[in-house]
Amino acid sequence: MSKSLKNFVSIKDALSDFTPRQLRLMFLLQPWNGPMVYGEAARGEMRSRETGLRNFFGKCAEAERAAAAAEGSAAQKTDAESVSAGVAAIPPTRWGAAERDLHSATSTCLGRVHAALCDSFDTRGALDAVAELAVSTARYLTAAREPPAIPCPRLVRSAAGAATRVLSALGLVDGGGPSDRPGLDGAGAGDSGAEDSAAAYDRLMDCFSGFRDDVRSAARGANPMSDVLAACDAVRDEGLAALGVRLEDDPAAGKGRWRREDPAALARERAEREAEAARARTSKLQGQLKTKRAELDKLTALAALPSVEQALADRFCPNTWESPPPPPAAPGRAASSEPGPPGPTRAADGTELDPKARKAAGKAAEKERKQRAPLEKALQKGGEGALQALAADVEALEAALEAL
């Protein structure tokens, strides 16, 4: 039936267009007992959901790292120094309204997931509950606090762990089973347990050493500022991405933020960005080529036209054209000494034109001049070789398109 209706898609073909997690998200976001939307129509929501979940877990991991760093820094001070300085960032020892709200949101999420799955396996409702928990967690992490207070890492980890358990049950977490580490990559994905720690350290130091070399070379170059920024972009998009690290700029905080992620997913995103950039370049070059070709065709056609006198030779004698006297001065302005453009004075049979006929002939000549004005303007701007230069531009754009 599916083949006869031509709505049959093999798993192999589907996986060539979407990642396994995106396919699972597509299935989970639609009712199991109703029609299913497949393809580009569902891609936008799948990507949005997946990106939202990764951002959620990334922010949770960042909050835990910040808390661990703050506690380590505070431990290096004596009690007297800590008290006198009063700047050591510490997680709250007592829950305030923000902590209670996040704890309640975590419990509510699990309750909503249970109710959704009991309601004819409403998997979309379960994902909506997790998305709402992510929003509540982001609200908690960005809530205003009096220094030195920071978000409670255990509470954040609890929210991330609850979301991970739900997503793992729905088959969205890699690794094939529950994980002690929150996130979509499952147990050991992207951490030191997935590969030998010494090898991981070696890869990281190779990346750092290469970046240092690039910065040193850029500093000695002719354009150090742009070259250093290019090296920063390269280590973000290539070196760190290959290590499974997503590095993003945070303009509000004035610094970068990083989180672990699947290297294959980062490679796919980079390939998509490059493909989109290539499409944009192609579209831009095609637009420029279309404009240049139209201009070249127009000017070439104008260059092939006879002169104004020759074009009107069947109506007016070509050798009897004269320029009219300068027009009278307008009130309050100086008179112009420039004569007007030449116009016909005799008809084709040699008879002299009366003033009315001469005026009509001048209008006909002016119409012909306006038609040739773009060519005259181009020649004034580019000289006698303007058309050749325009043809060279067209050839260069055609070559650039073929090279893409």
Distance (Å, whole) CA 363 – CA 370: 11
pLDDT of residue 217: 93
Residues 35-48: what's their mean pLDDT?
Answer: 80
Residues 107-132: what's their mean pLDDT?
Answer: 95
* pLDDT tier, 13 (very low <50, low <70, confident <90, very high otherwise): confident
pLDDT of residue 43: 79
Q: pLDDT digits over 68-98, tens only?
A: 877 766 555 544 454 444 444 556 667 888 9
Range name among 249-263, 358-372, 377-391 with the lowest pLDDT average: 249-263
Identify residue 295 by its one-letter amino acid code.
Answer: E
Q: pLDDT digits over 209-227, tens only?
A: 999 999 999 999 999 999 9
Would you kindly state where each structural domain of the chain is located, as residue ranges? 2-187, 190-261, 282-323+341-403
**Model confidence at 390: pLDDT above 70:** yes
Q: Which of 142, 148, 184, 187 is nearest to 167 (CA)?
A: 184
pTM: predicted TM-score of the whole model, two decimal places: 0.61
Distance (Å, whole) CA 359 – CA 85: 94
Distance (Å, whole) CA 124 – CA 122: 5
Determine the straight-line distance between the first and last CA of the chain, rounded to whole angstroms. Answer: 42
* pLDDT tier, 194 (very low <50, low <70, confident <90, very high otherwise): very low
* pLDDT tier, 178 (very low <50, low <70, confident <90, very high otherwise): low
Structure tokens at 360: 């009509």
pLDDT above 70 as % of the chain: 84
**Model confidence at 14: pLDDT above 90:** no
**Model confidence at 111: pLDDT above 90:** yes
**In the block, residue with structure tokens 């933020």:** 257
Distance (Å, whole) CA 351 – CA 396: 53
* pLDDT tier, 176 (very low <50, low <70, confident <90, very high otherwise): low
**Model confidence at 236: pLDDT above 80:** yes
| 151 contacts 91 by C-beta, under 8 angstroms | yes
Structure tokens at 259: 């989180």
**Model confidence at 1: pLDDT above 50:** no
Q: pLDDT digits over 321-346, tens only?
A: 888 776 666 666 665 666 678 888 88
Q: Which of residues 162 and 202 earns the better pLDDT score? A: 162
* pLDDT tier, 146 (very low <50, low <70, confident <90, very high otherwise): low
Identify residue 313 by its one-letter amino acid code.
Answer: A
CATH fold for domain 2-187? Isoleucyl-tRNA Synthetase; Domain 1 (1.10.730)
Residues 55-64: what's their mean pLDDT?
Answer: 88
pLDDT of residue 198: 78
pLDDT above 90 as % of the chain: 38
pLDDT of residue 186: 64
The four Cα atoms 81, 83, 88, 89 give a dihedral, to 10 degrees, of 160
**Model confidence at 106: pLDDT above 80:** yes
* pLDDT tier, 188 (very low <50, low <70, confident <90, very high otherwise): very low
Region of 23 (left: φ > 0; alpha: ψ -120 to 50; beta: rest) is alpha
Q: Which of residues 293 and 76 earns the better pLDDT score? A: 293
